[in-house]
Amino acid sequence: MAKPTWQMTGRVARLWAIVLAANVVGAFAVSFRIAFTGAVPDVLQPAILALSEHAVNIPPGDSFFRAIPAGVLIAAIVWMLPQNQENSFLIILTFTWLISAGDFTHVVAGAVEMAYLIWLGKLTFFPALFGFFIPVLAGNIFGGTLIFALSAWGQVRTELKPEPELCPNLGDGVN
Protein backbone atom coordinates (compact mmCIF):
# COMPACT_ATOMS: atom_id res chain seq x y z
CA MET A 1 0.00 0.00 0.00
CA ALA A 2 2.99 2.27 0.51
CA LYS A 3 4.09 1.77 -3.08
CA PRO A 4 1.21 0.34 -5.13
CA THR A 5 1.98 -1.02 -8.58
CA TRP A 6 0.19 -3.39 -10.96
CA GLN A 7 3.14 -5.78 -10.61
CA MET A 8 2.73 -5.87 -6.82
CA THR A 9 -1.03 -6.32 -7.18
CA GLY A 10 -0.38 -9.28 -9.47
CA ARG A 11 2.05 -10.81 -6.99
CA VAL A 12 -0.42 -10.47 -4.14
CA ALA A 13 -3.22 -11.92 -6.29
CA ARG A 14 -1.01 -14.89 -7.24
CA LEU A 15 -0.09 -15.50 -3.59
CA TRP A 16 -3.76 -15.34 -2.54
CA ALA A 17 -4.78 -17.68 -5.36
CA ILE A 18 -2.18 -20.25 -4.31
CA VAL A 19 -3.16 -20.04 -0.64
CA LEU A 20 -6.88 -20.20 -1.44
CA ALA A 21 -6.43 -23.17 -3.78
CA ALA A 22 -4.39 -25.04 -1.16
CA ASN A 23 -7.04 -24.34 1.47
CA VAL A 24 -9.85 -25.52 -0.82
CA VAL A 25 -7.96 -28.74 -1.62
CA GLY A 26 -7.47 -29.22 2.11
CA ALA A 27 -11.16 -28.55 2.75
CA PHE A 28 -12.15 -31.20 0.20
CA ALA A 29 -9.71 -33.68 1.76
CA VAL A 30 -11.00 -33.06 5.29
CA SER A 31 -14.63 -33.21 4.23
CA PHE A 32 -14.00 -36.47 2.36
CA ARG A 33 -12.51 -37.92 5.52
CA ILE A 34 -15.49 -36.72 7.58
CA ALA A 35 -18.01 -38.12 5.09
CA PHE A 36 -16.51 -41.46 4.15
CA THR A 37 -13.79 -42.81 6.42
CA GLY A 38 -15.43 -43.32 9.79
CA ALA A 39 -13.15 -40.70 11.32
CA VAL A 40 -16.32 -39.07 12.63
CA PRO A 41 -18.87 -41.40 14.24
CA ASP A 42 -22.06 -42.02 12.24
CA VAL A 43 -24.14 -40.63 15.08
CA LEU A 44 -22.61 -37.18 14.41
CA GLN A 45 -23.21 -37.20 10.65
CA PRO A 46 -26.75 -35.73 10.88
CA ALA A 47 -25.44 -32.81 12.94
CA ILE A 48 -22.61 -32.22 10.48
CA LEU A 49 -25.10 -32.32 7.62
CA ALA A 50 -27.38 -29.79 9.35
CA LEU A 51 -24.46 -27.46 10.11
CA SER A 52 -23.21 -27.75 6.54
CA GLU A 53 -26.62 -26.99 5.07
CA HIS A 54 -26.99 -24.01 7.41
CA ALA A 55 -23.58 -22.65 6.39
CA VAL A 56 -24.02 -23.08 2.65
CA ASN A 57 -27.73 -22.53 2.02
CA ILE A 58 -27.75 -18.82 2.77
CA PRO A 59 -28.86 -16.56 -0.11
CA PRO A 60 -25.80 -15.25 -1.98
CA GLY A 61 -26.43 -11.60 -1.05
CA ASP A 62 -26.71 -12.49 2.63
CA SER A 63 -23.58 -14.64 2.36
CA PHE A 64 -21.68 -11.67 0.95
CA PHE A 65 -22.74 -9.36 3.78
CA ARG A 66 -22.12 -12.00 6.46
CA ALA A 67 -18.64 -12.52 5.00
CA ILE A 68 -17.55 -8.89 5.44
CA PRO A 69 -17.18 -9.04 9.26
CA ALA A 70 -15.44 -12.41 8.97
CA GLY A 71 -12.92 -10.86 6.57
CA VAL A 72 -12.30 -8.02 9.02
CA LEU A 73 -11.85 -10.45 11.93
CA ILE A 74 -9.44 -12.73 10.05
CA ALA A 75 -7.43 -9.69 8.94
CA ALA A 76 -7.35 -8.56 12.58
CA ILE A 77 -5.86 -11.93 13.55
CA VAL A 78 -3.13 -11.52 10.95
CA TRP A 79 -2.51 -7.95 12.16
CA MET A 80 -2.30 -8.95 15.84
CA LEU A 81 -0.29 -12.18 15.75
CA PRO A 82 3.20 -10.78 15.06
CA GLN A 83 2.99 -8.57 18.16
CA ASN A 84 1.30 -11.21 20.33
CA GLN A 85 2.93 -14.54 19.52
CA GLU A 86 2.74 -15.73 23.13
CA ASN A 87 -1.08 -15.33 22.99
CA SER A 88 -1.57 -16.59 19.44
CA PHE A 89 -3.76 -19.55 20.39
CA LEU A 90 -6.05 -17.36 22.49
CA ILE A 91 -6.30 -14.73 19.72
CA ILE A 92 -7.16 -17.31 17.07
CA LEU A 93 -9.65 -19.05 19.36
CA THR A 94 -11.37 -15.80 20.31
CA PHE A 95 -11.67 -14.44 16.79
CA THR A 96 -12.83 -17.71 15.26
CA TRP A 97 -15.40 -17.96 18.07
CA LEU A 98 -16.59 -14.45 17.18
CA ILE A 99 -17.03 -15.54 13.56
CA SER A 100 -19.07 -18.54 14.66
CA ALA A 101 -21.09 -16.67 17.29
CA GLY A 102 -21.91 -13.92 14.80
CA ASP A 103 -22.99 -16.52 12.24
CA PHE A 104 -20.61 -14.90 9.77
CA THR A 105 -19.40 -16.72 6.65
CA HIS A 106 -15.80 -17.44 5.76
CA VAL A 107 -14.72 -18.95 2.47
CA VAL A 108 -12.10 -21.34 3.87
CA ALA A 109 -14.09 -22.58 6.86
CA GLY A 110 -17.23 -22.77 4.74
CA ALA A 111 -15.38 -24.68 2.04
CA VAL A 112 -15.37 -27.72 4.35
CA GLU A 113 -19.16 -27.61 4.66
CA MET A 114 -19.56 -26.90 0.95
CA ALA A 115 -17.29 -29.81 0.00
CA TYR A 116 -19.05 -32.12 2.47
CA LEU A 117 -22.37 -31.43 0.74
CA ILE A 118 -20.77 -31.92 -2.67
CA TRP A 119 -19.31 -35.29 -1.62
CA LEU A 120 -22.75 -36.38 -0.40
CA GLY A 121 -24.40 -35.28 -3.66
CA LYS A 122 -26.54 -32.68 -1.88
CA LEU A 123 -24.90 -29.72 -3.63
CA THR A 124 -23.69 -29.41 -7.21
CA PHE A 125 -20.76 -27.46 -8.57
CA PHE A 126 -22.44 -24.34 -9.99
CA PRO A 127 -24.71 -23.63 -7.00
CA ALA A 128 -21.71 -24.20 -4.74
CA LEU A 129 -19.54 -21.85 -6.76
CA PHE A 130 -22.02 -19.06 -7.50
CA GLY A 131 -24.38 -19.44 -4.55
CA PHE A 132 -21.77 -19.79 -1.85
CA PHE A 133 -18.09 -19.67 -2.76
CA ILE A 134 -17.86 -16.52 -4.90
CA PRO A 135 -20.20 -14.34 -2.77
CA VAL A 136 -18.40 -15.35 0.43
CA LEU A 137 -14.98 -14.88 -1.12
CA ALA A 138 -16.00 -11.42 -2.35
CA GLY A 139 -17.33 -10.46 1.10
CA ASN A 140 -14.18 -11.74 2.82
CA ILE A 141 -12.00 -9.79 0.40
CA PHE A 142 -14.10 -6.66 0.85
CA GLY A 143 -13.97 -6.93 4.66
CA GLY A 144 -10.41 -8.11 5.01
CA THR A 145 -8.77 -6.07 2.32
CA LEU A 146 -10.72 -2.94 1.65
CA ILE A 147 -12.07 -2.19 5.10
CA PHE A 148 -9.35 -3.58 7.37
CA ALA A 149 -6.31 -2.85 5.23
CA LEU A 150 -7.40 0.70 4.50
CA SER A 151 -8.14 1.28 8.19
CA ALA A 152 -4.73 -0.07 9.16
CA TRP A 153 -3.07 1.96 6.40
CA GLY A 154 -4.79 5.07 7.70
CA GLN A 155 -3.28 4.47 11.13
CA VAL A 156 0.33 4.07 9.98
CA ARG A 157 0.61 6.09 6.77
CA THR A 158 1.95 9.19 8.51
CA GLU A 159 4.65 7.12 10.23
CA LEU A 160 6.07 5.76 6.97
CA LYS A 161 8.99 7.50 5.35
CA PRO A 162 8.14 8.79 1.88
CA GLU A 163 9.86 7.09 -1.02
CA PRO A 164 12.10 9.51 -2.97
CA GLU A 165 10.63 8.48 -6.34
CA LEU A 166 7.15 9.18 -4.99
CA CYS A 167 8.22 12.57 -3.61
CA PRO A 168 10.92 13.86 -6.00
CA ASN A 169 11.31 17.22 -4.25
CA LEU A 170 11.83 15.72 -0.80
CA GLY A 171 15.21 16.53 0.64
CA ASP A 172 16.20 19.27 -1.84
CA GLY A 173 14.98 22.12 0.33
CA VAL A 174 11.96 22.84 -1.87
CA ASN A 175 8.61 22.86 -0.12
Res 175: pLDDT: 44
Domains within the chain, CATH numbers bracketed: 6-156 (1.20.1080.10)
pLDDT, tens only, 96-155: 999 999 999 999 999 999 999 999 999 999 999 999 999 999 999 999 888 777 777 777
- Report yes or no: 133 and 48 within 8 Å, Cβ to Cβ: no
What is the pLDDT averaged over residues 18-35? Answer: 97
Taking residues 17-25, report their average pLDDT.
97
User: For the residues of 44-101, what is the DSSP string, one character each?
Assistant: GHHHHHHHHHHHH-S-HHHHHHHHHHHHHHHHHHHHHGGG-GGGHHHHHHHHHHHHHH
Q: 113 with 55: CB under 8 angstroms? A: yes
**166: confidence class by pLDDT, cuts 50, 70, 90:** low
pLDDT, tens only, 56-88: 999 999 999 999 999 999 988 888 888 888 999
Closest to 53 (Cα-Cα) out of 110, 9, 101, 134: 110
What does the pLDDT read at residue 100? 92
Q: Which pLDDT band, with edges at 50, 70 and 90, does 28 fall under?
A: very high
- Is the confidence at residue 32, as pLDDT, over 60? yes
Q: Which of 79, 80, 74, 68 is nearest to 146 (CA)?
A: 68
pLDDT at 37: 95
